[in-house]
Amino acid sequence: VIYQYLNNVEGVPIVKWFGKDEKNYYMVLNLLGESLQSIKNVSTFSLSSVLQIGIQVIILLKTIHDKGLVHRDIKPDNFLLGLNNQRKRIYIIDFGLCKCYMNNDKHNPIKKTNNLIGSLTYASINTHNCIELSRRDDMESLGYMLAFLYLGTLPWQQEKVKNDDIIKRLKQNITNNDTLPEILVNYIKYVRSLEYEEKPNYFLIIDNFKRELEILKK
């Protein structure tokens, strides 16, 4: 249903066919390339590449958010590259946890959730605190994803004990990480400062990333 709603949105795969049999539902999407996760498994990303990915994903998230939806599962596995002449384009997939944050032109009220939603590795601090997710949380998860692509691994991925409180504390401290570029630190600080109903300033972030890219080219 979400794919149908987002049909013809640039960066969202096109639904070719869907149906069901006695046991299963099926959906056929246009063929895409590797995920950012699978590429990361065999190569590293420069800061320039990370910022270019960030710009594309922020445009994608803005489009989805403008449609009244939050994705709620931002992670490298859910971003695929196109094929052939589209191989530099990024596509977003897996809307299984996607949810409307608007109802009758009003933002859904803030409330508590029963459990952590999405991927533990990329979940926002609010998710750990069981607070209803909104646009800011997609953006925060993107911050951890970009940090992962640049650093190669996140501090909480190295923890032997998968304890929520330890992971949350390590996430809170990532802005003090000396190896994380200032542009990404500032991004994470900004999206964490957003209020529950606040619309992120997508274009400000994109402009900051583009300025940094110009500096890196010199």
- Residue 73 annotated to the active site: yes
| Residue 13 near residue 29, CB atoms below 8 Å | yes
Q: Which of 148, 145, 36, 47 is nearest to 89 (CA)?
A: 36
Q: Which amino acid is at 144?
A: Y
Q: Indicate the DSSP class of residue 112.
A: B
Q: Which of 2, 118, 111, 146 is nearest to 64 (CA)?
A: 2
Report helix, strand or coil for 180: coil
Q: Among residues 73, 94, 105, 138, which one is catalytic? A: 73
Q: Indicate the DSSP class of residue 160.
A: S
| Residue 108 near residue 102, CB atoms below 8 Å | yes
Q: Rounded to whole angstroms, how far apart are CA atoms 71 and 92?
A: 9
Beta strands per DSSP E along 131-182: none
194, two tokens: 């957003």
**Residues noted as catalytic:** 73
